[in-house]
Chains A and B, each alone.
Chain A
Amino acid sequence: MHDVDGEKPIYIQIADWLENAIIDGTLQADEKVYSQYQLAELFTINPATAGKGLTILLESELVYKKRGLGMFVSPDAQEKLRAKRKERTLLKLVQDLLNEASLLNIGTDELNQIIEKERKQRKGNQT
């Protein structure tokens, strides 16, 4: 049995791994990114696959190329990624929530009440 997310293609896994490294600060702004060959060695994967992973980051302008020197983290990469993650993760959670709600016949009002109740509880815990 495979997990719910299925098995992502390796080049996407590589891109995700690099994005995580940028988000958590392992790779700082303007720092050199691993080359496709370093990535290939690191993960025992084909260099072409590693290159494809890097291309995703290049296309979304999370990294930039310096001729003959390799790729470097864009100054605003961390910012961009945070925004992207927020949007993507949150959207997914909301979708799941709505699916589950419709299964359980929970209306919008009831859903809002649950959210509001949970929020209050957390506030109470924090103070």
Chain B
Amino acid sequence: MSLTHRTMGEIVKQQFLFKLRSNAAVITALFVMQAVVWGFIISGAPNSFPGFSMSTFELRWNSITNDKVVMASLLWALVVGVLMTTPGQRNASFTYVSSPVTENLANFCFFGLAAIIAGVTTVLSGSVLKLVVFMKDGSSIIETGGLIAAPLDFFSRIVVMILYTLLIMVVVYTCMLFVQMNRLMIVPIVLLVLLSTKSSVFGHLGIEGNIVTLFDFFYNESSFWLFLVKTGVVMAIVSILSFFPSSRIEVKQS
């Protein structure tokens, strides 16, 4: 029986399509999550929207914000990052044809597409939300950053959302791979997370100094292009790092 020679590219493409077909529910889950958050916003749970009223006149201002959809999408990205490192996922890939490299690349392709879908739907949902609330309440609306009012801003928000989603997936994915390679890796990773979110913790310990938290590093970047460069570079580094654990983890270890 003669041997079959398959190129890396072929297998990455096949694995990517396989992951899409087998994880279609992951994408559906995003839509469901967004829909649920929408439901909360539109039904206007009173607590979440502070109004202002006096006996003589009423000023009602509805702050329609997409923040909750954004948060939901980012949370989803985190779950997706974890999900793709589960042994079940890897074992399924190796039930078919796979190598650690193709597995990693196919996962990144999956993250890419998932992030694009999440980015576009999340930003669009902001605009649609406003429309829905407008039609429901009939009140005037001051649109900021919509497709028509500020198309460039609109697209840049999509790009930013995609990058955020992708960044979360890739970082979480890589961290999980390191932990799977060696359980002890959890210690430096937890330290890193603390460092990036709660510089105050270190402040209390008196080592605040010049620590610029990782969080601020992205979140407080006001220049779109600089943000692009920063996330791009970080993602590239993290992605390259991920090949280290992924090529060491054994399959079907039971």
Establish whether A and B are touching in the complex (CB under 8 Å).
Answer: no
